[in-house]
Structure 1
Amino acid sequence: MTPDDVDALTSPAGRALLAELAGTEAEDPVALAARLRRAGHDPALAALATTQSRLRARAASKFGPRAQDLLLTAAGAEQATRAVVAAEHARRFAAAGVRRVADLGCGVGADSLAFLDAGLDVLAVDADPVTAAVAAHNLGRPVRCADVTAGVVDELGPGDGAWFDPARRTSGGRRLFDPEATSPPLSFVLATAARVPATGAKLAPGLPHDLVPAGAEAQWTSVDGEVVECALWSGPLARPGTGRSARVVRGGPSGAAVVEVDDTDLPVADVGPVGEFLHEPDGAVIRAGLVARVAADLGGRLVDETIAYVTTDTGLTSPLTRAFRVLEVLPFGLKPLRARLRALDVGTLTVKKRGTAVDPDQLRRQLALKGSRPATIVLTRVAGRQSVLVVEPVSP
């Protein structure tokens, strides 16, 4: 997409065509293109609008109904913050008394929309001209096209906050895992926090714990089981006494249920034998290093000191875990496992794993099961031994 393409899509003809294409994303693309040609639409505009319509449909899982009014780029739609997560970002700034947020690397404007919804003023900045133009449409206000490291932070004063969403991919689309390789790098974010206390940043979920500065809070967030970010909060945005926290959101774009847990008075987890139930902690809990908190809340223990599985003897459940009833515990071995699963008439096998190099697809091929019943197994270590747990899900 180019700036001219943005102008075309926001022209009266472009807007009318986008409205006409709403709900057509399931149509065959060739048939749709032919229909638009017969209707006399400009082919170039039709191609742009069709692509935009499909991006909007895919983005509905992040933005809900609002997606139908947004302009999007493919990369921007993929990397944009989900609305339910952006709302939490905005809540933090508003609760800290921030009046204006500089959204530094605003992308298509997902976080800026949430800031505006929360009644905050926004200075939106992005270095890419097309992305800035798209964001300006989405926000209904100008977006500055500039390098966020080139003096923008110096304009911020009392009552202002800074929000970063560093680019974590190369121009070729390769994902970057080193926080210092992102744009801007983590060091620039931390330098900004030293000048603008109310600074937050959306970082990759793989952020090492030792990179979290003293006095800051790192919050890992999952949405419907997918870990989507680690937000780093500094100054008044961080909760006192909390260095690491997890936020688990379930219920789709609206976030019907939200549960948080943190490292305040974090206990040491016990380790013991497998009980009647196995609990798989949410990925955000694991990333935040808070499995011991979940184990304590459930009155449970770890199956192995290096493995993030919790076991209990009672049916108590938690919104921070997925629970399974343990049917059998077996030592790992291909032949005895095959024999046992065939004896159980298993044909469809769900394989969960942690702490093992076994490839689930290869294992299914090797087992060659032909039975009529489904089953779930967990491959993991129990007290240091490679083991297989035959389990069944517990309804929430």
Structure 2
Amino acid sequence: MTLAATTHLNTPAVSLPLAQRMSRMKTSAVREILKVAERPDILSFAGGLPAPELFPVEAIAQAHAEVFAHEGPAALQYSTTEGYGPLREWICAHLAERGLSATIDQVIITAGSQQGIDLVAKVMLDPGDVVVVENPSYLAALQNFDGYQARIEYVGSDDEGMRVDELEALATRCRPKLIYIVPNFHNPKGTTLSLERRHALVRFAQKHRVLILEDNPYGELRFRGEALPSLASLDDMGVVVQLGTFSKTLAPGLRLGWAVGSRELTRSLTIVKQSTDLHTGTLAQRATARLLAKFDYDAHLTRLRAVYGQRCQAMLDSLEAHMPEGTRWTRPDGGMFLWAELPRGMRGEDILPRAIEQKVAFVPGSPFFAAHPKAQCIRLNYSNRPPELIDEGMRRLASVLAAQ
């Protein structure tokens, strides 16, 4: 038998014409930094990583074992695009406890909330459509909107979140199609949208018939202050779609999230998901549904909040103790990040290589801006390190800044 010649992967390839959208898409600065920053010898505060020691590993393993014991063939079979019914029912009940009433046909299971962003963009955006974000904003969402050739407009942000008062002026020069916002413990800033602005944002969207994409991956992680109503719970006209996820509470490796919106929009999301991946993993959905049926999820959340609150306070205390004069930072009430502004004249991109030399890492802030980046800003993640390592990491970072 004659074997065909083998083509090696390192053989130079012809230059293929890519889609026009690829000219707009940039590599993720965070992902590139993590290639270096996640070395075991580096104290990294760069990734958006939950604490792995808090993953309920045994409970998740037991749930998978029960699925294989009692429903193995069904769990390994194709399933419906909308998602596993009992899991969607649990999500509806969970949302109802938080003031958001939804029926099962308004919920679709996604491969993490990141897929929810992609599906909403695919349903809503034609090339040139306007997406409004706050500046800075979640980097992967900006990448996604660029991929659909949207026109990204921005409004400012401060310690109370998005500057909703700037939306009317923006609407006089363009017609927004979508508003993207992380209202609770914003990525990258850690800030929370105030109650007054929540009401104002929903009123604006209803008046102008604009869809709000409420990305809420960190909402369960409040460790200070009173919970605020979701944008979706304030909406009675179907102008809000909310995304949620188990990535920050159970484990990101499950790749389970959800989108909840009007029945009409959920139907559209289902249609585009059918052509994207058919459905989210059946095994993970069934195992998570079994887990949640008997796992004390609220007690687990209480533990997460306590630990993350302690780690956030440790970082705030360390910044106060070690950072040079002129450094400023946000004070989150929950979530996984805080945002720091370096002393005048310092740039995050310039500081990072020196920080890596001192075995500490962060994410420069510039990539998070839709326009007019502030190079002196950086993002710090506190959820993934215990207090003693947080303090050591901030000492190392402070020494780098002091050397400048």
Above 0.5 in TM-score? no
Greater helix fraction, Structure 1 or Structure 2: 2
- TM superposition score normalised by structure 1: 0.34
Using CA pairs under 8 Å that are at least 6 residues apart, name the structure with larger relative contact order, 1 or 2. Answer: 2
